[in-house]
Amino acid sequence: MTSVLSGFSTAFIFVLGLVALALVVTFFIDRYQTADAVRRNYPVIGRLRYVFSELGEFFRQYFFAMDREEMPFNRAQRDWVYDAAEAKSTNVAFGSTRNLEPVGTPIFVNCPWPTLEKDASEAQPLMIGEGAARIPYNAPSVFNISGMSYGALSKPAIQALSHGASRAGCWMNTGEGGMSPFHLEGGADIVFQIGTAKYGVRDKEGNLSDDKLREVAAHDQVRMFELKLSQGAKPGKGGILPAEKVNEEIAEIRGIEPHTASISPNRHPDIGSIDELLDAIDHIREVTGKPVGFKTVIGAYGWLEELFEEINRRGQQSAPDFITVDGGDGGTGAAPLPLIDNVGLTLREALPMLVDIRNRAGLKNRIRIVASGKLVTPGEVAWALCAGADFVISARGFMFALGCIQAMKCNKNTCPTGITTHDPDLQRGLDPANKAVRVANFVKQMRKEVGVIAHSCGVPEPRRLRRYHVRLVCADGRSRPLDELYPEASSKDRVTA
């Protein structure tokens, strides 16, 4: 026994000596380096600043931030998604924790005679591309999965989304990284996104390949094609996938070299005008036979009026079958901070603007509007429908449904939940079968609770919501109806509730 204790003491002293030596060496390194003033003035101790700074975002989330304080999504928003995804009750007690006084806060106007449950219904399927595409799409769900590429997301995450979308009866957008077998695996309806690098449908020179378009369109699951002009995280800059996330499989799907950064052009090189955009839409629709639309962040908006004028000159069959409008306040993708923080209108301003310009052109029944941008709770989705959206899509909401904890490590291949990493050890934590159920639950609960808001407002289904059903808090502290702040474009285009 004595010898064991003696050996332990010797080992402890040895380790203590190594620690002391390391501290001494670190002290001299810090004292005589010139790159960092804090470490030079406060050797060793100064290093704790960077440790605390790195851990600060986690401490804030768990210990210091109130339920409604965090950005980009607060705890109350995340908790609603988690509960919905786990099929738990989303009911709360003792009143709202939301401050209803900030400017822009939406307040829905309840009807004195709300819709009875026996008269209520979910949003009905809506046709996209009828009269223009050979194979139009009767889209069954008002709420769907936005574009997230295989590459940006892991294999098990894509598998879970595919199976979950199929179970919920909603569509799944591939994102700009092309279509993998994992997108098709669950049998979900697919929207194939064509990014500026044309991954998945490009030839060896990077140009759009008609043969590959036909190969993709031959899959019955592929219902529509979406040209991505820009996205909320980085308007004016293409996709960014770091080299460490470009493995052999992802490189093959995209048609690029493995282990090299996947950097897309900041726009389609072959689309630089309204005429070229409409020509590209016509071409893809003719080759594939499927509906074709485009995704954009709105900043300048005069070009939209010119676009719709040109559509009416050519004929309404030349129109995009849908337009996806994204908010300019970020998204799932990695992006330069100046673009995330400063470029592009928020969805709150852009969506009603786009709807009004479309309606003034008489294209309300021809072009469907898809709203995207931080819409992860029923109130946000219901607001978008009031503003005039036909469909709502979400990316980060579905990441939360998969188990995202907002660690903000999406671009570093170190995602602790396995959603945005290709590290097998980290992916192991994400079980596609379990998460597919969560994805489906999230969609179903979203549709149900958006319906609850609609029924409270006195309409039988969510797409009957109008601008006069929601008020926004203004700078003077009073709320005003959305149709007063954004008057309907034309009385002849209005649909009565």
413, with CB counted inside 10 A (0-12, 13-18, 19+), is middle
- What residue has token string 């072959």? 270
Pairing of strands 292-297, 262-263: unpaired
* pLDDT at 104 exceeding the cut of 60: yes
* pLDDT at 54 exceeding the cut of 70: no
Q: What is the pLDDT of residue 305?
A: 95
Q: What is the mean pLDDT of residues 48-58?
A: 63
Percent of the chain's residues with pLDDT above 90? 51
**How far apart (Å, rounded) are the C-alpha atoms in residues 462 and 451?**
6
Highest mean pLDDT among 55-69, 252-266, 373-387: 373-387
Cβ(150)–Cβ(183) below 8 Å? yes
**How far apart (Å, rounded) are the C-alpha atoms in residues 159 and 165?**
10
> Which residues share a beta bridge with 138?
127
Q: Which residue has the higher pLDDT, 292 or 46?
A: 292
What is the Rg, in whole angstroms, of the alpha carbon atoms belonging to the chain?
Answer: 26
Please report which helix (H) or strand (E) contains residue 401, including its range: helix 396-402
**Pick from 153, 149, 221, 226: which is nearest to 189 by CA?**
221
Helices 378-387/347-360 angle, 10° precision: 30
* pLDDT at 244 exceeding the cut of 50: yes
Cβ(226)–Cβ(148) below 8 Å? no
Domain covering 117-493 assigned CATH 3.30.572.10 in the classification: no
Angle, CA 401 vertex, CA 399 and CA 406 arms, to 5°:
50
**How far apart (Å, rounded) are the C-alpha atoms in residues 217 and 102?**
47
Q: What is the mean pLDDT of residues 457-475?
A: 95
HSE, side-chain direction, 13 A CA sphere, residue 73:
28
Q: What is the pLDDT of residue 432?
A: 92
The three-state secondary structure class of 45 is helix
Q: What is the pLDDT of residue 489?
A: 62
Cβ(76)–Cβ(83) below 8 Å? no
Q: Global pTM?
A: 0.85
* pLDDT at 5 exceeding the cut of 60: no
Neighbouring residues of 66: CB distance < 8 A, sequence distance ≥ 6: 75, 97
CA end-to-end distance (rounded Å), the chain = 87
What long-range pairs does 406-410 form, CB within 8 A, spacing at least 24?
A: 406/61, 406/70, 406/72, 406/73, 406/78, 407/58, 408/57, 410/152, 410/332, 410/333, 410/334
Tens-digit pLDDT profile for residues 428-447: 888 899 999 999 999 999 99
Q: Maximum CA pair distance of the chain? A: 98
**Pick from 392, 370, 365, 320: which is nearest to 133 by CA?**
320
**Pick from 340, 361, 400: which is nearest to 161 by CA?**
400
Name the token pair of 326. Answer: 């994204």
Name the token pair of 245. Answer: 């996330």
> Is the omega angle on the peptide bond into residue 242 within 30 degrees of 0, that is, cis?
no
Amino acid in the structure at residue 166: S
Cβ(70)–Cβ(57) below 8 Å? no
Q: What is the pLDDT of residue 119?
A: 86
- What residue has token string 């309907």? 488
* pLDDT at 52 exceeding the cut of 90: no
Tens-digit pLDDT profile for residues 375-419: 999 999 999 999 999 999 999 889 889 988 787 777 777 788 888
Amino acid in the structure at residue 456: S
44, with CB counted inside 10 A (0-12, 13-18, 19+), is middle
Q: What single-letter DSSP state applies at residue 395? A: S
**How far apart (Å, rounded) are the C-alpha atoms in residues 406 and 457?**
33
**How far apart (Å, rounded) are the C-alpha atoms in residues 322 and 295?**
9
**Pick from 145, 149, 396, 146: which is nearest to 249 by CA?**
149
HSE, side-chain direction, 13 A CA sphere, residue 53:
5
